[in-house]
């Protein structure tokens, strides 16, 4: 008795739809105007090579304002030497005769694109398998990053038709009205945790924005970024902090100092606590521990992450717990994924992060280093030209913020304990400088008292007496 071999793999059909492809090209040769409803469809989406040739010919003729029917399309294909490859006039006649009206062309295009995505998944899976079997010296994490990069282009790419600008008005006016009356259910700007900075940013950070925070070492970039992440977490959303410079427990120590009110030196060295078990310091520590433990702040401290690794981690967090803000500390420590030199590599990362902010619908705060050029000037306040590695950073960013603390360069500065936050670029708002208090022992930025003067200039030596304070 011959039992069937259960292990013989059945031949599976490659995902495609001849009917949908034929219906599209047949309907287009009958109704050329139908192409306006499927502007997102490309020749590469078709499975059959002959259908690609026919669709390309139709598309070129319509764009050139020429009539594309069965005869003219055949003539165009014949002149390019492709008529025999598509079955000649008999096949074109068959397709046109069998085609229904163009009423369903949008749905047919969706079917063709869906099948193209499925074929892409199969191809990517084969390529990933090849990566696994022939590693070529790659680490497992590098293979995973490469695999994510292959699947990423097949992510949701649903078409959105162009609209008259007036069609955007209704939701905007409704949002303004609801916000005015305090009853808005629309997505609001996300607070940075600093009153004056929020006001300058038109209420705070917005979904899809790439916000660059740049400064020289020691200016407090990580401190302000952690404050922004905590403010977002306090607002009830999840923050994701990619800490490529500090390990997780260093970041947590900072958060504990900020939450408890205890200086960093006591968080780092428990011997400095008061000996009395009932001292206020232990009570402050307890309250700080409780507050930090309740923060919806997720830390990923893997070093030298690629753009694909960051994107994959962000998508996973959003899927599991929702996501309101991403912070990356910092751009210079991200691994390069493409580009022949450092400028191109940095530019590729900033472009990718801007696209990711739009795809995930969250603001991304990206920290960046400034070059040493500003240290060589008399006035050491940063300029856009000081951005390190790539001029594309300035182009890709929606908002660029420079941090400057005069006391870093001038120990006797009259602006001790004050940071200047310079909004050097804002696509949809004003630029300018706002002030914030900087509490060094807790690495904390906080609001200044309203009306506080600041802005020491080179040559200002004597400390200035003024009333200022912070929370």
Mean pLDDT of 276-280: 68
- Beta strand 325-329 with 364-369 is parallel
Q: How far apart are CA 83 and CA 73, in angstroms?
A: 9
What pLDDT was estimated at residue 228?
A: 94
In a 10 Å sphere around its CB, with 0-12 CB exposed, 13-18 middle and 19+ buried, how is residue 160 labelled? exposed
- The tokens for 238 are 């999840």
Tokens 């795809």 belong to residue: 359
| Lowest-pLDDT choice from 213-217, 387-391, 447-451 | 387-391
- State CA 185 to chain mean position distance: 24
What pLDDT was estimated at residue 6?
A: 46
Q: How far apart are CA 101 and CA 30, in angstroms?
A: 8
- The tokens for 45 are 């989406």
Question: CA separation (Å) from 351 to 210, 269, 354, 360?
Answer: 9, 42, 5, 14
Confidence of residue 156 (pLDDT cuts 50, 70, 90): low
pLDDT at 7 over 60: no
Mean pLDDT of 209-232: 92
Residue 422 DSSP one-character state? E
pLDDT at 278 over 60: no
pLDDT at 73 over 90: yes
pLDDT at 5 over 70: no
pLDDT at 77 over 80: yes
pLDDT over 90 percentage in the chain: 35
pLDDT tens by residue, 290-326: 888 888 999 998 888 888 788 888 888 888 888 999 9
Sequence-distant (6+) residues with CB within 8 A of 46 are 21, 52, 55, 112, 116
Mean pLDDT of 336-361: 83
Phi/psi of residue 155, nearest 5 degrees: -65, 170
Mean pLDDT of 30-43: 86
What pLDDT was estimated at residue 85?
A: 92
| Lowest-pLDDT choice from 46-55, 153-162, 224-233, 389-398 | 153-162
Q: Order across the sheet with 364-369: list the strands.
A: 297-300, 239-243, 325-329, 364-369, 210-215, 399-404, 418-426, 432-439, 444-446
Mean pLDDT of 406-420: 89
Stronger pLDDT, 199 or 274, i.e. the higher one: 199
| 85-112 burial: b if 16+ Cβ within 10 Å, else e | ebeebeebeebbeebeebeebeebbbbb
What pLDDT was estimated at residue 306?
A: 83
What pLDDT was estimated at residue 166?
A: 67
- State CA 62 to chain mean position distance: 37
Sequence-distant (6+) residues with CB within 8 A of 400 are 211, 212, 214, 384, 387, 393, 394, 423, 424, 425, 426
Sequence-distant (6+) residues with CB within 8 A of 448 are 196, 418, 435, 436, 437, 454, 468, 469, 470
What pLDDT was estimated at residue 163?
A: 60
pLDDT at 465 over 50: no
What 93-100 contacts at long range (C-beta under 8 Å, 24+ apart), as own/partner pairs, is: 95/22, 95/25, 95/26, 95/29, 95/54, 96/26, 96/29, 96/30, 96/70, 97/26, 98/22, 98/26, 99/22, 99/23, 99/25, 99/26, 99/27, 99/29, 99/30, 100/23, 100/27
Confidence of residue 151 (pLDDT cuts 50, 70, 90): confident
Confidence of residue 58 (pLDDT cuts 50, 70, 90): very high
Do the Cβ atoms of 260 and 287 come closer than 8 Å? yes
Confidence of residue 366 (pLDDT cuts 50, 70, 90): very high
Q: Which of 412, 419, 466 is nearest to 444 (CA)?
A: 419
Q: How far apart are CA 415 and CA 430, in angstroms?
A: 24
**Mean pLDDT over each residue of the chain, to the nearest integer:** 84
- The tokens for 419 are 């940071």
Confidence of residue 18 (pLDDT cuts 50, 70, 90): very high
SS3 387: strand
Q: Where are the beta strands (DSSP E) in 124-259?
A: 210-215, 239-243
Report for 247-251, 272-276, 281-285, 398-402: range of highest mean pLDDT: 398-402
Count of CB atoms within 10 A of residue 265's CB?
10
Query: Residue 445: in which H helix or E strand, if any?
Result: strand 444-446
What pLDDT was estimated at residue 89?
A: 92
Phi/psi of residue 327, nearest 5 degrees: -120, 135
Phi-psi category of 164—alpha, beta or left, where left has phi over 0 and alpha has psi -120 to 50? Answer: beta
Stronger pLDDT, 170 or 94, i.e. the higher one: 94
């Amino acid at each position: 008795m011959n039992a069937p071999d259960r292990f013989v793999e059945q031949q599976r059909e490659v995902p495609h739809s001849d009917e949908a492809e034929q219906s599209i090209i047949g309907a287009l040769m009958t109704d050329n105007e139908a192409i306006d409803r499927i502007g997102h469809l490309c020749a590469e989406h078709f499975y059959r090579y002959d259908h690609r040739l026919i669709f390309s010919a139709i598309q070129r003729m319509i764009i050139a304002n020429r009539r594309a029917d069965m005869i003219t399309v055949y003539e165009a294909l014949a002149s390019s030497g492709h008529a025999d490859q598509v079955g000649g006039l008999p096949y074109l006649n068959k397709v046109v005769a069998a085609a229904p009206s163009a009423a369903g062309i949008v749905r047919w295009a969706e079917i063709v694109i869906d099948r193209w995505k499925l074929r892409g998944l199969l191809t990517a899976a084969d390529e990933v398998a090849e990566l696994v079997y022939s590693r070529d010296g790659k680490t497992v994490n590098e293979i995973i990053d490469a695999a994510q990069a292959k699947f990423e282009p097949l992510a949701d790419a649903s078409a959105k038709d162009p609209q008259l600008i007036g069609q955007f008005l209704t939701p905007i006016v409704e949002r303004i009205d609801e916000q005015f009356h305090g009853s808005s259910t629309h997505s609001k700007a996300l607070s940075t945790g600093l009153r004056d900075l929020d006001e300058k940013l038109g209420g705070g950070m917005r979904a899809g924005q790439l916000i660059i925070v740049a400064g020289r070492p020691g200016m407090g970039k990580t401190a302000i970024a952690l404050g922004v992440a905590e403010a977002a977490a306090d607002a009830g959303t999840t923050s994701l902090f990619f800490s490529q410079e500090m390990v997780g427990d260093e970041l947590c120590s900072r958060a504990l100092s900020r939450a408890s009110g205890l200086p960093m030196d006591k968080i780092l060295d428990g011997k400095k606590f008061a000996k009395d078990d009932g001292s206020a310091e232990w009570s402050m520590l307890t309250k700080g521990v409780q507050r930090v433990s309740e923060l919806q702040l997720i830390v990923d401290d893997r070093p030298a992450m690629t753009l694909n690794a960051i994107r994959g981690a962000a998508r996973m967090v959003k899927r599991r717990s929702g996501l309101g803000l991403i912070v990356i500390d910092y751009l210079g420590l991200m691994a390069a994924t493409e580009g022949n030199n450092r400028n191109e590599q940095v530019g590729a990362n900033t472009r990718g992060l801007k696209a990711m902010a739009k795809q995930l619908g969250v603001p991304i705060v990206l920290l960046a280093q400034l070059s040493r050029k500003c240290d060589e000037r008399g006035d050491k306040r940063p300029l856009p030209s000081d951005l390190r590695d790539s001029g594309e950073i300035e182009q890709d960013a929606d908002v660029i913020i420079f941090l400057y603390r005069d006391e870093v360069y001038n120990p006797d500065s009259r602006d001790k304990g004050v940071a200047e936050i310079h909004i050097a670029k804002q696509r949809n708002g004003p630029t300018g400088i706002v002030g914030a208090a900087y509490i060094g022992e807790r690495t904390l930025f906080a609001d200044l008292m309203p009306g506080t003067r600041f802005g020491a200039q080179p040559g200002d030596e004597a400390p200035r007496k003024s009333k200022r304070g912070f929370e």
